[in-house]
Structure 1
Amino acid sequence: YWSCAIMANRYECGVGQVYLDLIELVRGKDYFIITTNVDHQFQLAGFDKKRLYYTQGDYGLFQCSRPCCRETFDNEDAVRTMSAAVKGRAIPIELIPRCPHCGAEMTTNLRCDDAFVEDAGWRKASENYSEYLRRHSGCKVLFLELGVGGNTPVIIKYPFWQMTSKNPRATYACVNWGEAYTHPYIADRSIVIDADIAQVVKQLLGR
């Protein structure tokens, strides 16, 4: 019940304004997004999936709980159906999503244990990100980090620092309320903003 309710809220709450502002900010630019967010907001906002790498999974996808296959499944229709059928904190047993291959219960595609499925879409997104970095190696580029904390710095923060240090034409920018900092080695090519992301993006749009 709780998983169903949480995922239903992902669809029913709409798209956060900051995501809509971000897509306006990068419109017409040669950008790429790597994210540890699993809230499906980039997809709902309309970002180009070919320019998006969701490293830790996505609430918008189901996978086999075993897992018996390296495949994921869009879950919006199933989640909305389950949410509408909730009675007494439960759903009818026949609505429990099951793997079409082995019949096991489905679960959300989140990197929380060694059962996480890196499907063809995930692997393609990883390849697209690597190719984007290869094409822009040595180019004038902005590594813009938004709200990355200390939980998983090895995915975005540390690689951004390393790529900035190796590329004299690169700039690193960090926007993070309460956790805005950079590495001393690249301090002269860093922009550190201790502020709310939503407000900063609005200012960049001239609002």
Structure 2
Amino acid sequence: MTWKAIELEENNAEKLAQLIEEAEAIVIGIGAGMSAADGFTYIGERFTSNFKDFVEKYKFLDMLQASLFDFPSSQEYWAFQSRFVLLNYFDQPVGASYLALKNILKDKNYHIITTNADNAFDVAGYDMDKVFHIQGKYGLMQCSKHCHAKTYQDEALMRRLAVEQENMEVDYRSIPLCPECGAPLEVNKRNAEKGMVEDLIFFEHLDKYNEFLEKNRDKKTLFIEIGVGFTTPQFIKYPFYRELDKNPNALMITMNQKKYQFPERIASRVLWFNQNSKDLTLDVEELLKKWE
């Protein structure tokens, strides 16, 4: 099979819109760059204004460094994380890019995998059966000892911890504890050394994602990376490369202002679009509306 849109002398938005229309299946990998393009960044004013006290004490450079820091106590850990969870999950507003992408994908045969742990897909009203969060979700908690495969959510507690903390500590009596072993709970996000708790819902979503890949393996499948860097290439980037190896009919688009080198064996089937991902997504949405 050939992709007719590749040969078109069009701009990136027109070419991408044509490829989406031409595809029989679409797999989208979403990284931190997409949320950042919508203004949900981990640097600058958004970080310093919400965590001024932690920045002054620990000289953190950005929110990612701070969120991964090994705080000296659970009281301080939850003082930071309760604010972090509200900012990046429960109170994070809908992003324009996510709304546009949802409109682009309506009536399409698609599935999404994301390394983001924010609420972007939930708040934008996606079909969450088609979204796989491989790195966890900030709104969930897990046992810090990983003693059992279950996660918990308590928005009211997060709000109370964020408001009632003093001197960058929460009351020790308010620290959420594991109902099985009594250890403190922690945010459900993957740690490079010890991983994360993967519960029943995680594996259900993993199965749905893998089933979609298998079902569409011989089809004209378009793999689209949006804002995916090289921090954790093992979750989206490398698996996409392997899918192109398995399916000679597949094509990959990478939307990133930074250019990464692609394996020679698939380089002819990878297109790099380096314009702002938010602008490109909104342009594609407008084009597809005109073509309806």
Structure 2 CA distance for aligned equivalents of residues 180 and 75 of structure 1: 40
Residue identity opposite 1:2 in structure 2: F
Whether the 8 Å contact between 1:4 and 1:82 is mirrored in structure 2 is: yes
Determine which of 235, 255, 276 is the counterpart of 1:155.
235
TM-score for the superposition, normalised by structure 2:
0.66
Q: Give the Å deviation of 1:86.
A: 2.9
Range that drifts further, 122-131 or 112-121: 112-121
Determine which of 126, 134, 138 is the counterpart of 2:206.
126
* CA-to-aligned-CA distance 1:134-167 (integer Å, 9 cap, x gap): 1101011110011111112122112212212332
Following superposition of structure 1 onto structure 2, how do residues 1-207 of structure 1 map, counting pairs within 5 Å?
1-10=79-88, 11-112=90-191, 113-114=193-194, 116-179=196-259, 181-206=261-286
- State the aligned residue count: 207
Structure 2 CA distance for aligned equivalents of residues 131 and 190 of structure 1: 24
Q: Give the Å deviation of 1:177.
A: 1.0
Q: Give the Å deviation of 1:14.
A: 1.4
Which structure ranks higher in relative contact order (CA pairs < 8 Å, sequence separation ≥ 6)?
Answer: 2
Q: Give the Å deviation of 1:181.
A: 5.0
Q: Give the Å deviation of 1:199.
A: 1.0
Whether the 8 Å contact between 1:67 and 1:115 is mirrored in structure 2 is: no
Q: CA RMSD, aligned part only? A: 1.9
- Long gaps (5+) in structure 1: none
Structure 2 CA distance for aligned equivalents of residues 168 and 2 of structure 1: 47
Whether the 8 Å contact between 2:92 and 2:120 is mirrored in structure 1 is: no
* CA-to-aligned-CA distance 1:29-52 (integer Å, 9 cap, x gap): 121111111223222322222111
Structure 2 CA distance for aligned equivalents of residues 132 and 103 of structure 1: 39
* CA-to-aligned-CA distance 1:151-197 (integer Å, 9 cap, x gap): 12122112212212332221110000113554333333322101211
Structure 1 CA distance for aligned equivalents of residues 124 and 105 of structure 2: 13
- Long gaps (5+) in structure 2: 1-78, 288-292
TM-score for the superposition, normalised by structure 1:
0.91
Whether the 8 Å contact between 1:34 and 1:156 is mirrored in structure 2 is: yes
Whether the 8 Å contact between 1:174 and 1:181 is mirrored in structure 2 is: no
Residue identity opposite 2:83 in structure 1: A
Whether the 8 Å contact between 2:112 and 2:131 is mirrored in structure 1 is: yes
Whether the 8 Å contact between 1:172 and 1:190 is mirrored in structure 2 is: yes
Question: What secondary structure sits across from 1:184 in the alignment?
Answer: coil
Whether the 8 Å contact between 1:176 and 1:193 is mirrored in structure 2 is: yes
Whether the 8 Å contact between 2:140 and 2:152 is mirrored in structure 1 is: yes
